[in-house]
Structure formats: C-alpha cells, structure tokens
Amino acid sequence: MKIKLNHGIQIVFVCFLFVVGLNGFGQKVGLVLSGGGAKGMAHIGVIRALEENGIPIDYIAGTSIGAIVGGLYAAGYSPDEMEAIFSDPSFENLITGKIEDKYTYFFKKQELNSAWVQFKFDLDSSIFTPSLSLNIVTPFQMDFAFMEVFGKADYACGNNFDSLFVPFRCIATDVTNGEQVVLKNGSLKDAIRASMTFPIYFNPIRIDNNLMYDGGILNNFPMDIMCDVFQADYIIGVIVSKPPKEPTEDNLIATLMNLIIEKDKHNYTCSNGIILKPDIPELSLIDFKKALDLIQIGHKIIIDSLDIIKTHVHRYVSPLEVSTKRELFNRKSKEIFIGNIKVEGLNRSQSIFIENTILDKNEIITLEELKLRYFKIIAEDKLKYIYPYLAYDTIENYYEIIFHAIPSKPFHANFGGYISANAYTTLFLQLQYKYLGLQSIEAGLDAYFGRFYNSLVLSTRLDYFRKPTFYQLVKIGYNRWNYFNTYRSFIGSETPSYLIHEETFFDYSLTFPVANKAKLSGGFAVLHVNDRYYQSNVYLKEDIYDKNQFSGISPFIIFEYNTSDYRFFSTEGLHLKIRFDYFDGYEINIPGSTSIINERTADNCSWFNLNAYFHKAFPFSKWYSLGLSGHFAWSNLPLFASYNASKLRSNYFAPTHESNISYLPCFRDPSFAALGLSNTFKLYKNLQFRLDGYYFQSIESIIKNPDYTASYKRYFSRYAFLAYASFAYTTKFGPIALNVSWYSHNDPNFIFNFSFGYLLFNNKYF
C-alpha cells in the first residue's frame, strides 16, 4: 500500500512539472510597440522595467517609433544605450535635418546672396519641369546615423530578423501597391527606416523596388503580426498614440494625420495578454526634448501593472542572463571598415566622381572617415538624394558602402531681394547650371536690380576632387551704386549729394580648403572703376560732374574661417577673415564744372591693403549671446586727384548690415582699428533684440583741402562711434528687422530703417 501511494505522488508531481513546463519554462512572451512619434520614448522605459523584473521578451514587433525602439532592442542595444541615443543633444539634428557642425564644409558653401526661395528644374523638350520635394526634413544625417546604429546587426543576424538578439518584425506601407508589408529579412536599417517614414516629413525609400512609407498608415499597432507570425503565449502591448487632433483649415499636419494614420481599430483578442496605454501629455511628432520624462512614464506603467503580468508570466529571466545573451549576440558583429564602394542610380561619370571623393584606390577607412567624406558629397548640392547601404564582403573581410543616388535637377533659379523703408529696395535673381560628372562644374548669373544697387555677374566654378582638393572660380561682372537716389544714406555735411560708383571686373581665383571650417584663396582681378560726383553740394542742373577712373590689376590672398550660425545677427561661432590686396594701375581724373582744378590728369599709382576682421559670439545662455568684433586695416594708399576719390579707394568699417549698404566717409580711412560689442537677446523663438556699440579709431586719416584735394592728417587724429539697436524676426526667407543706427560727429545722428531680407553685394573692391 505504501508503494502504491508513493507511486501516485510521483505521478502527480510529474504532471505538475509538465503543466509548469507548459505555462512557465516553455512560455513565450511577445512585446508589441505602437507608433506615435516622440511619445514612443515611453517604449524604452517599458523594456527597461521588464528586464529589471525578469519578464522575458521573446519576440518584438513595432511600427514607426515602435519599430525604431524595438529594432534597437533586437539589434542588441540595452535600455541604457537606447536612452543615451535619444537623450544625446545631437539626436535633434537627425529629426530636423540639420547637419552637425563638424560635418559642414565652409569650402563647399555657396557664396552668400539675397535669395529667398529656390526652384530646381530641368529642360526636357523645351518643357519647364520644376522639382517638388516630398519631404520637409532632409534625412541625410538620419540615414547615415541609421547605418551606423544598425549596420553591425545585419551581419550578426545574416539579414534574417529571426536571428537577431530577439526575433523582430516591423510594418511599412507599400504605396505602390497600397498594402502593408511585414518586414522580416534584408537590411534592418532599411526596414526600420521604411516603417518610420512619415509622409511629408521624410523621404520615402524603396524596398524591392517598391516605395515605402510609415507603417502606421495601415497598421499602427501590429498585434495581429505578433499573433499570426510568432504565436506568442502572452503579449504585452503598449499604445502611445492617441487619435489625431480635429483637423482645421489652417493646420496641415493635423489634417494629414487624420488622413494618413490608421484609426484605433485594433483587435486585441487574438491571445492572452495585456494592453497598456501610458498617460502621455500631448507632444508633436518630433519633440524628443522630454525623452527622459517619457522613458520614466513607460517604466512606471510596467511597475504599476507588474502584479497582473506576473500572474500570467511564470517564466523568470534574470537581468544577468539577458545581458550575457546580448553580449554573445554582439560578439557576432564585425567592426565596420570600408574597403570598397559602389554607386547606383547615376551615370558612370557621376559615379566615378563620388567613388573618387569617398575612397582612394586600395584604401580602407573607418566609419567616421566615411561620414566626413559622405557629407562632402552632400555639400556639393548636386544630388537630390543619396541613401547609404552596408554590405559585408566575406572574402575581403571588410564592408562595401553602396550609395543609391538620385541626381538633382541641373537648373536652379533663386529669387529674393531686400525690401526697405528707405530707398535701398533691391530685387535679386540668380540662375545656375550645376553639372556633376568627372568634375563638379557650376555656371551662374547673379543680378541685382534697384535704384540704389545694380549688378550683373557671370561666374564659372570648377571643383577638383583629387588631392590637393581645390576649385577654380572665374567671374566677370559689373556693379553700380547710385548714392544720389539714396540721399538719406548720406551721413555728414562733407558727403557729396551726388555720387555714382561703378566697378567692372574680371576675377580669377584658386581656393583650397583648410580643414572643414576654413579656406585659402589666391588670385587676381582686372579692374576698371568709374566714379562720378560733384565737388560741392550746391550745383545747377547744367553743371558737369567730375569723373575719376582707376584701371589696373589687383592680385589678392584671402584666408577665411567661419562657424557663425547666421549671415548677420549671429549668436554663436567665429568668423575670421584676413585679406591682402595689391593694386597697380593708373588714375584718370576729369574735372567737372564744380571743380576748382580744371586740368585733366593721369597718374600711375600702386598700393596695398591689409584687412583683418573677426567676430566671435559667446552664447552664455539660451537667451543671451555676447559678441566681440574687431577690424584692423592698414594701407599705403596714395592720395588721388580729389578728396572724394581718395575716400572711395580707402578701406571702410561696416560692422552692421545698415552701415554696409551706406556710404559713410566717417568710417573710411586707409588705416584704422575698430572694436565692438554686440548683445543679442532671444526674446521668443526666432525673435531677437540686438544692441551693439563700436569704436572706430583712425590711424591715418584723409582730410579735405579747400580746393577739394586731399591731405593726410597726423596719426590717431580722428575717431568715431557707432551704436546700433535692432529687433529682428528670422524667417525661412530672411529677417524682418526694425533698427536704428546712431553715428557720432555727424548730422543727422540717427538713421531709422524697417526692412525684410538681406542686401549682399556681388564682388566689391572699394
């Protein structure tokens, strides 16, 4: 009897172990993460809390931000590592499209102009076909970052998502066929990039030659995929999205979200599980600034639901076991070294240019070196889009970088100008042709039209990618400043009320990069300068103006370093420019009827100019920046036939936009030193208030003689002050500014201006 009883106990115990095995040791837990933009940061907290409390994650599926977080976890990233990625200040650059400062190339930047808008177009059988962008954010930075983050996992899993650290699925929308796609193999980076591509914000990508957008369009919470594909025993689902705002006539994003994002029609009954909906405050899609708070919200909802989850999940996996498994998976990956390159989507000449820019023959580079060269290609501004892939070469034991590129439209038209309450209003037009082949070539026309300033410049730029990297720039142009039509810009009683300054030039230069933020240029200009003015402010209609002309050649050397954030009103960065010019030519002076001297003169003349300028902005806080600037000029300028001609050939100090577009004799002398302080207060988003003060000290000044000729005055004999106050609201097209300038020792002292945009001159020599 005793034996039979023991046998019965054994049978019961075995049955108990079998049941526990089914419900514990063999139990598989799936995690489903919804889309929802920045709110998806809560998913990281969910994963962290599950790991900390021994709740296993055997499968994971997600859409959009759920695909990003789930994909990171499946790729072997811990919750701490994910938090570090999203809380890094540089992460904001990925979602805004801003390229990090260290990857911008001053050498490649276009010369500044007054453009507001740009159109890119092609000419096909004489039909004008403009290019319309499908994205708000240019994702060059994001695409490369995805490759950095997910590149190793592709090799570790053999492009099979079931072989990741945790088996993974994500959803994308195939807009070619109008259906959802469950991504289960191939490039993990591409799958996640497709799943999070919200229309209008980001460029779509192609997978299997089909155009892919955000999976949330058709399936924002892939519970059905977890049930049908993985057949998990218990499912933890996390929904961070909420119904989009009611669409209104003036809210494009809300309207798009109502049209695009799948409404809450999920079927939660396919398996035993729990659906969690964290209480998350309303956020924009790309507002990741509160990532840490959102992570904590996700962590809290798991802790609050832990008792319910543990009543169903009997299997325990220790954090150490998870960490060990993750480490073993990550050991399968290969460090990324690039030894080969392939370009798709371009013609052979264009491909060769990119190949030679990225990789030298027999060269193997790191991912960071690749990133530096990748952004050099971006800076060319001749590709509409370039998407990077990594493929591991098992024979050579290095990675191959594959670029799929789309060439940009070759013709560019830029429109803009400067609108002023004073008489400076000027329109701007630029036409460019940009060619990418074995070399990078640009040809353009820049034109300004207005009462005050007229200019026409033809230019050609030829870039060489072979070391040493440099470009040739050739310009032929004409500039004309009509100060008579802007009499309100004249400051001081010594200023003539009629003055026209013209420059005709041929300019040739070679420019070499000096690291990322600087460039060195050398070249020469052939000049013809023509000035017309009356010697006296009192003249009759029949009076004849004086003509003073200079014709000659001017070799020059320019060094420039620039990390400033804006053309004017900069709040951070340093701008340093040193320029040396030598002029050699002859002067012709033709007196008019208001001149005391009646003889026509012609003289040879030569001199040098040295100008050194800097502006450094110190951002002390989010709301305040202090700027320090200086300008030193030195010259052995000879005296010309008249005072006006001598002043016009002199160096000039123009620290503000308004002083740069005005003729101010009080800030013109051959040699001087000037210092200034600028205080910039950020009042609200793009609204700034700026208060500047400058001191100008002439080292060697020019004075007017009674016969309208010029003389040099003793050293340090003259000084002047400039004060400037401005409210400026920065728009995408340019600043809207209300400002006042005060100039000492002049009448009038105050000049007011209300303006929109910038007025930036083409090549200006005097």
**pLDDT tens-place string over residues 213-222:** 999 999 999 9
Other residues' Cβ atoms within 10 Å of the Cβ of residue 347 = 11
Domains defined along the chain, listed by start = 30-97+139-330 (3.40.1090.10), 334-407 (3.10.20.310), 411-757 (2.40.160.50)
**The tokens 């003055």 sit on which residue?**
499
Longest dimension (CA), the chain: 144
Instruction: Pick out the chain residues at pLDDT < 70.
Output: 1-25, 124-135, 243-271, 485-497, 566-569, 747
Cβ–Cβ < 8 Å for 63, 222? yes
pTM beyond 0.85, yes or no: no
Q: CA torsion, points 741, 743, 749, 750, in degrees to nearest 10?
A: 0
pLDDT value for 9: 43
The span from the CA of 43 to the CA of 31, in Å, is 10
**pLDDT tens-place string over residues 441-485:** 999 999 999 999 999 999 999 998 777 889 999 999 999 999 875
| Burial classification of residue 279, based on how many CB atoms lie within 10 Å of its CB (0-12 exposed, 13-18 middle, 19 or more buried) | exposed
Give the total residue count for the chain.
766
Cβ–Cβ < 8 Å for 727, 751? no
Task: Report the SS3 class of residue 225.
Answer: helix
Give me the amino acid identity at 342. K
pLDDT value for 670: 96
Structure tokens at 701: 């000044």
Structure tokens at 218: 């058709």
Structure tokens at 756: 């929109």
| Burial classification of residue 536, based on how many CB atoms lie within 10 Å of its CB (0-12 exposed, 13-18 middle, 19 or more buried) | middle
Cβ–Cβ < 8 Å for 663, 626? no
> In 3D, which of 170, 161, 147, 158 has the Cα closest to residue 69?
170
Cβ–Cβ < 8 Å for 638, 653? no
Structure tokens at 448: 């300004």
φ and ψ at residue 648, rounded to 5 degrees: -65, -30
Cβ–Cβ < 8 Å for 422, 450? no
